[in-house]
Structure 1
Amino acid sequence: MPLQRAYTFSDFILPVLAMCAVVAASNILVQYPFNHFGLGEVLTFGAFTYPIAFLVNDLSNRRFGPQFARTVVYAGFIIAVVLSIWLATPRIAIASGTAFLCAQLLDITVFSKLRQLTWWKAPFASAVFGSILDTLLFFSIAFAAQFAWIDAATGQADSSLAMLVPFFGKEIPLWMSLGFGDLMVKVVMAMVMLVPYGAILAIFAPAIYSANRNSK
Structure 2
Amino acid sequence: MEFMTQEATEFFASQAPKGPNALVRAMRALIRMIIPVLALMGVFIWADFGVGQPITLFDGLFLANQPQLQPSQWLTNGHFLVALTFLVLNLTNRRYGAAYATAQVTLAWLILGGLVYYYFVVSEQSFMERQLPSVRISVSFVLALLTAQYLSISIFDWTRGRPWWRAPLYSAIWGTAIFCFIFYPSAKYGVDQPWISQMLSHFVLMILMSFLMLVPYFLARPVVKPLPGFGGA
- Tell me if both proteins adopt one fold, taking TM over 0.5 as the criterion: yes
Q: Matched residues in 2 for 1:42 and 1:94: separation?
A: 26
Instruction: For 2:95, give the aligned amino acid.
Output: R
Task: Name the structure 2 match of 1:10.
Answer: 31
Task: Name the structure 2 match of 1:92.
Answer: 137
Q: Give a deviation string over 1:71-109, Cα, whole Å, max 9, x none.
A: 011122233456678673333321221011110111011
Q: Residues 1-216 of structure 1 correspond to what in structure 2 (within 5 A)?
A: 7-27=28-48, 29-30=50-51, 33-36=54-57, 37-38=59-60, 41=69, 43=71, 44-45=75-76, 46-81=78-113, 88-89=132-133, 90-145=135-190, 160=191, 162-163=192-193, 174-205=194-225
Instruction: For 2:199, give the aligned amino acid.
Output: G
Instruction: For 2:111, give the aligned amino acid.
Output: I
TM-score normalised by the chain length of structure 2: 0.67
Q: Give the aligned CA root-mean-square deviation in angstroms.
A: 3.0
Question: Contact 1:42–1:179 at 8 Å: present in 2 too?
Answer: no
Q: Matched residues in 2 for 1:110 and 1:193: separation?
A: 16
How far the C-alpha of 1:49 sits from its partner, in A, is 0.7
Which ranges of structure 1 fall in alignment gaps of 5 or more residues? 146-159, 164-173
The structure-2 alpha-carbon separation of the partners of 1:32 and 1:94, relative to structure 1 and needing over 3 Å to count, comes to farther
Q: Matched residues in 1 for 2:211 and 2:99: separation?
A: 25
The structure-2 alpha-carbon separation of the partners of 1:101 and 1:134, relative to structure 1 and needing over 3 Å to count, comes to same
Q: Which has the larger radius of gyration?
A: 2
Number of residue pairs matched by the alignment: 183
